[in-house]
Structure 1
Amino acid sequence: MKTKLLLLALIMQSTTSVFSQSKTVEYKDGNQVLSGISVAPSKSLKNKPGILILPAWMGIDDHAKDSANRLAAMGYTTFVADIYGVDQRPKDYSEAGKKAGYFKKNIKEYQTRIQLAYDQLIKQGANPDDIVVMGYCFGGTGAIECARTNMKVKGIVSFHGGLGRDETRTIDAITPKVLVLHGADDPYESKEEIEKFQTEMRTAKADWQMVYYANAVHSFTDKNAGNDNSKGAAYNEKAEKRSWEAMLTFLKEVL
């Protein structure tokens, strides 16, 4: 019993040491104050790779923070971006839809907010030559935008993100490697939009992968999304675990 208690204490101490390195970081976009979350690993991997995390449409949530902590525990410097601002966080899904919709329509403003968060990740000690951007839902859309603008990153990971693109935009060559993790039954991405995205990746001569998860709809990594697929967004434990492992494999490859 004493051995078990000692082991539990050591585990808790180790977990605390990782979590204690989490801090709030304020920065600005003009007059708008932004507040992201930085998590430094207790022991960095070689070359100090960093991961920028773009949260879903509700803004910084437990899901994004949990991902930041898990990755920091593996040795990555992580930063959760604040896209909306400290006084602009949505109060409900309706408000989140409007705010996320604004940035999707005003894509350059979204790109600016992502770039500012990227700069903060570097300031927190991440190696600018070894960065990956990952995002969930609305954040997955943002991650793909990082590929389209050729942000100076090694890789892009989109979990159930939006794939659409304004067709008036030119398609430039894409340098970062791209991993798209997608629910096979996601009702928010039409067959036509998926085909256009894949054509875009080919035209851009991107190094891309797209993985489909059976019986998974939108938000399949979010434990707060419920379990009713008929609503279009629901948690899927198997898809969550598989997609996380796919991302870890991708990180090992590109970083």
Structure 2
Amino acid sequence: MKTQAILVLMSILLGNMVIAQELKGVNYKDGNQELKGMVTNNSGQNLPGVLILPAWKGIDQEAKDAAIALEKQGYIAFIADIYGVGNTPTDNAGSSKLSSQYKKDYKSYQGRIQAALDELKKSGATKIAVIGYCFGGTGALEAARGGLPVEGVVCIHGGLAKAADRPNVEIKSKVLVEHPADDASVKPEDYDGLVKELNEGKADWQIITYANSKHTFTNPESGDYNPVMAKRAWNHTLMFLDEILK
């Protein structure tokens, strides 16, 4: 058993070393706030780009794995730092507090996304799309709502609601929402409100709902992980990116 445990640990460490070698840290700023994102090793080439918005704890393994997988598909991938250096939450309570602040102050959230988009452009990206997980999925929708210069956005088990006093506006970027059917964090009225918002915004949109799936169904480290539906969702993401970026 000890030998098996040691082998598992070595496998994890080696895997993390590979990830570290294939992603590079990028220091950038939004105003006076220092930020540190990550970019794939193919930066500097003229390739389509994908901005990844991580979940509520900041840059995590799911975001890193997505970046590596996207590089293999021929994209420059950049993982955004939304909270900034020194502000990364250490627990769920802190994550909830910080992410809620950005959801409420959506213009600041859009500004942080734009700062990351600027860095991705500096990395050589031509056409750009945004994908986001959970809190980052909400950010993907905010990129569309804010008219940020992207071809399309993918919201992966993100929050779908926005404040009731915010008007629905024209949405020019294409929108894909990957929604787990059993997501307890999304109310039926939030879902219906998003459909209304996208229709009134004359958006090119689609929502794919995944059966038997709870909130973080794409994350292998989550108890909600559904490998079958996660694979389908990833394939849908790649199909969408291929259509709008290549």
TM above 0.5:
yes
Cα drift, residue 30 of structure 1: 2.3
TM-score norm. by structure 2 comes to 0.89
Q: Is the 8 A contact 2:44 2:124 kept in 1?
A: no
Distance (whole Å) between structure 1 residues aligned to residue 161 and residue 63 of structure 2 = 23
Q: Is the 8 A contact 1:19 1:39 kept in 2?
A: no
Are positions 1:36 and 2:26 aligned together? Answer: no
SS of 1:223 mapped into structure 2: coil
- The range that moved more, 24-33 or 93-102, is 24-33
Q: Structure 1 segments of 4 or more deviating over 6 A?
A: none
- Residue type of the alignment partner of 2:185: Y
SS of 1:225 mapped into structure 2: coil
Are positions 1:168 and 2:158 aligned together? Answer: no
Cα drift, residue 22 of structure 1: 2.0
Residues 59 and 93 (structure 1), Cα distance of their counterparts in 2 relative to 1, 3 Å cut? same
> Which of residues 128, 144, 148 in structure 2 aligns to 1:147?
144
Residue 27 of structure 1 is matched in structure 2 by: 28
SS of 1:63 mapped into structure 2: helix
Residue 99 of structure 2 is matched in structure 1 by: 100
Residues 55 and 32 (structure 1), Cα distance of their counterparts in 2 relative to 1, 3 Å cut? same
Residue 55 of structure 1 is matched in structure 2 by: 54
- Residue type of the alignment partner of 1:195: D
Are positions 1:132 and 2:136 aligned together? Answer: no
Residue 196 of structure 1 is matched in structure 2 by: 193
RMSD: 1.9
- Residue type of the alignment partner of 2:215: H
Distance (whole Å) between structure 2 residues aligned to residue 95 and residue 209 of structure 1 = 32
SS of 2:24 mapped into structure 1: strand
Cα drift, residue 119 of structure 1: 0.5
Residue 3 of structure 1 is matched in structure 2 by: none
- Residue type of the alignment partner of 2:133: Y
Q: Is the 8 A contact 1:49 1:76 kept in 2?
A: yes
SS of 2:193 mapped into structure 1: helix
Residue 184 of structure 2 is matched in structure 1 by: 187
Are positions 1:251 and 2:206 aligned together? Answer: no
SS of 1:166 mapped into structure 2: coil
Distance (whole Å) between structure 2 residues aligned to residue 131 and residue 81 of structure 1 = 14
Residues 42 and 27 (structure 1), Cα distance of their counterparts in 2 relative to 1, 3 Å cut? closer
Distance (whole Å) between structure 1 residues aligned to residue 169 and residue 95 of structure 2 = 30
In the alignment, structure 1 segments of 5+ residues that lack a partner are 1-15, 227-233
Distance (whole Å) between structure 2 residues aligned to residue 23 and residue 212 of structure 1 = 34
Cα drift, residue 43 of structure 1: 10
- Residue type of the alignment partner of 1:115: Q
Could you report, residue by residue, the CA deviation over 1:171-220 in whole angstroms, capped at 9, with x for unpaired residues?
Answer: 11111100000001111111111001101110001000000000001011
Residue 14 of structure 2 is matched in structure 1 by: none
Matches within 5 A, 1:75-94: 75-94=74-93
Aligned length: 230
Distance (whole Å) between structure 1 residues aligned to residue 100 and residue 142 of structure 2 = 15
Could you report, residue by residue, the CA deviation over 1:128-169 in whole angstroms, capped at 9, with x for unpaired residues?
Answer: xx1000000000000001111111111100100011011212
> Which of residues 217, 223, 226 in structure 1 aligns to 2:220?
223
Residues 190 and 63 (structure 1), Cα distance of their counterparts in 2 relative to 1, 3 Å cut? same
Cα drift, residue 19 of structure 1: 6.8
- Residue type of the alignment partner of 2:238: L
Residues 42 and 30 (structure 1), Cα distance of their counterparts in 2 relative to 1, 3 Å cut? closer
Distance (whole Å) between structure 2 residues aligned to residue 42 and residue 98 of structure 1 = 33
> Which of residues 211, 217, 227 in structure 1 aligns to 2:208?
211
Could you report, residue by residue, the CA deviation over 1:30-79 in whole angstroms, capped at 9, with x for unpaired residues?
Answer: 222110001133896xx610000000000001110110011011110010
TM-score norm. by structure 1 comes to 0.86
Residue 229 of structure 2 is matched in structure 1 by: 239
